[in-house]
Amino acid sequence: MSFNTIPFLAFLALTVVLHYIVPRRGRNLVLLAASLAFYLFGTTPGFVVFVVLSAFVTWSCGNRVAAAESPRSRKRWIWLGAGFQIGLLCFFKYNHLVFPQLAGWLGSLNFAYALQNASGAWRIMLPMGISYYSFQCLTYVLDLAKRKPGAVPERSFVDFLLFVSFFPQIISGPIGWACELLPQYKAKRDFDRRIFTDGLRLMLIGFFKKIAVADMLAMVINPVFADQSAYTGFTLMATVVLYAFYLYCDFSGYSDIARGCAALFGIALRENFNTPYLSTSFVELWRRWHMSLSNWLREYVYIGLLGGNRKGQVRKYFNVLLTFVISGLWHGVGLPYFIWGSLQGLFQMAENFLRDRGRYTLEPKGWRFWPRAALVFLLNAWTLTIFRAPTLADSVAILTRQFTQLSLSDFLSQFNALIGQGFNATPLLVAAYVVFCCLTVGVVIAADLYRYFRLRGACLAEHLGTRRVWLRWMIYYGMLACIMAAFLMQNGNYVGSVSFAYGGF
């Protein structure tokens, strides 16, 4: 059940009503029932058992940690809780590499969750959201191990299972910390008009990014990645840049919707994106892009597991590289993900090396800001091509051939054909699509510039609530009009709208 569908909006409205009409003691039960129903009617309903199992094992280990009388016993339960989550995640992500016969045997038995790829190889389907809820369980265990302030064993399994399965964040995050979210689930959550309206504004902004920008761009991007050999230089170059905007609007839009949905119930989730494409270094980019994952990797992998920068400069550079390799393998299995993570790590290694020698400033001032921001954006867009292309050979072809056959007439004819595939388009509709995408992408760029330079990173949705009534409603109606126009230009169907780039992790 994707966020940007009518069934989800009806489901959300019903859950909100039930949440506030039941007694306070029953509100977490309402959210838990809704979360399990949301997962049960998702793409892999049978895998709801692993959500419950992950929560139960982690919760039980946490209670054992609290009751342990010796450091050795405490450490044993911590390792069991963490090891179970890591083992479960690795099994589902890498089962086709480690146990290929198992997937093939299950496939021969017509097991519903054993899938066969185009080459005929079998693998067990990845449970929806396992990368997110596994990391949330790990935060609980690891925070208990570090005796982090606010990290205490949770006595209520209902509250803990809600923390693991909360439906706004289970598909796409943001990754939550137990010490931040569990107290919110236990608190009295009365209806707060300001928080509720801020949540609705966040959802509206998210729907605008997802439907009016990302889904519209996907209609011309996906055919190029599906058959890059049919396109020439300028078309491939435009695809690389547009894909970077698509992924940002798709993922940040989904994150905004998730945060907005949670706010309707009085729950505050971590922010996930903060104007990342105005970063002037890769260090800064990863402080602004997928922030919940970046912070998780920094705290629990770079510092907690590898030692951070406490063991000398050479070890620091190696730790940075290894952290991003792990990030790449978290995103997916295969050489392209490994290369993508390695490149991100190498960029950060180079920046840290130059900064340590006084030859590089992470946040330049004045005129140097714009060329540096453009360079970081382009380099990141090129690495994302490796992330998106079907094979490594396809990504190499796109990255190399974009500088050849630079014919403007070829670009115009190919772009016109790409739009026509999406719309069965008349020339008028092609022109309307171009104008519409320029308008909506321009709105996103303008909003990020305003937030970066004027608001200094403050929440745009909250700021919008302080503007004059006529201006607020003009913006609301404008975004709603763009969302409806996007649906109409997609022939009134949800084919593009229900897809989500990060939904398979």
Q: What is the DSSP string of 160-226?
A: HHHHHH-HHHHTT-----HHHHHHHHHS-----HHHHHHHHHHHHHHHIIIIIIIHHHHHHHHHHHH
Place 493 in a pLDDT band, splitting at 50, 70 and 90.
Answer: very low
Q: Percentage of residues in the chain with pLDDT exceeding 90?
A: 45
CA distance 337 to 331: 7
Average of per-residue pLDDT across 64-68: 81
Q: Percentage of residues in the chain with pLDDT exceeding 70?
A: 89
Kindly report, residue by residue over 20-33, the tens digit of the pLDDT: 999 988 999 999 99
Q: CB-hemisphere CA count at 13 Å for 499?
A: 14
Dihedral-angle region of residue 290 (phi above 0 means left; psi in -120 to 50 means alpha; beta otherwise): left
CA angle in degrees (0–180, nearest 5) for 295-303-77: 95
Query: Which has more confidence, 310 or 455?
Result: 455
Query: Which has more confidence, 4 or 59?
Result: 59
What pLDDT, on the 0 to 100 scale, is given for residue 378?
95
Nearest by Cα to 77 from 69, 397, 313, 399 = 69
| Angle formed by the axes of helices 233-264 and 215-226, nearest 10° | 140
What pLDDT, on the 0 to 100 scale, is given for residue 496?
43
Place 114 in a pLDDT band, splitting at 50, 70 and 90.
Answer: low
Average of per-residue pLDDT across 99-122: 61
CA distance 328 to 387: 9
- Output phi, psi for 163, to 5 deg: -55, -40
Nearest by Cα to 144 from 220, 219, 74 = 74
Given the residues 19, 96, 290, 331, select the one marked as catalytic: 331
3-class SS of residue 122: strand
The whole model's pTM is what?
Answer: 0.92
What pLDDT, on the 0 to 100 scale, is given for residue 346?
94
Place 357 in a pLDDT band, splitting at 50, 70 and 90.
Answer: confident
Beta bridge partners of 122: 116
Q: What share of the chain is helix, strand, coil (3-state, %, to 5)?
A: 75, 0, 25
Provide CB contacts within 8 A for 9, sequence distance 6+.
Answer: none
So where are the chain's domains? 32-190, 208-232+243-274+402-489, 280-401
* pLDDT over 80 (residue 504): no
Looking at every residue in the chain, the average pLDDT score rounds to 86
Residue type, 440: T
* pLDDT over 50 (residue 15): yes
Q: Taken in order 65, 291, 505, 159, is the CA torsion positive or negative?
A: positive
Q: Which two tokens stand for residue 231?
A: 């396109």
CA distance 229 to 397: 8
Q: Which two tokens stand for residue 473?
A: 């409603």
Query: Which has more confidence, 3 or 205?
Result: 205
CA distance 348 to 328: 14
What pLDDT, on the 0 to 100 scale, is given for residue 404?
82
Nearest by Cα to 47 from 58, 60, 36, 57 = 36
Average of per-residue pLDDT across 111-120: 58
* pLDDT over 70 (residue 122): no
What is 56-81 written as a DSSP string? HHHHHHHHHHHH-SSHHHHHHHHHHH
- Whether 161 and 55 have beta carbons less than 8 Å apart is answered as yes
290 carries an active-site annotation: no
Residue type, 138: L
Place 152 in a pLDDT band, splitting at 50, 70 and 90.
Answer: confident
What pLDDT, on the 0 to 100 scale, is given for residue 110?
60
> Lowest-pLDDT range, 71-80, 145-154, 332-341, 441-450?
145-154
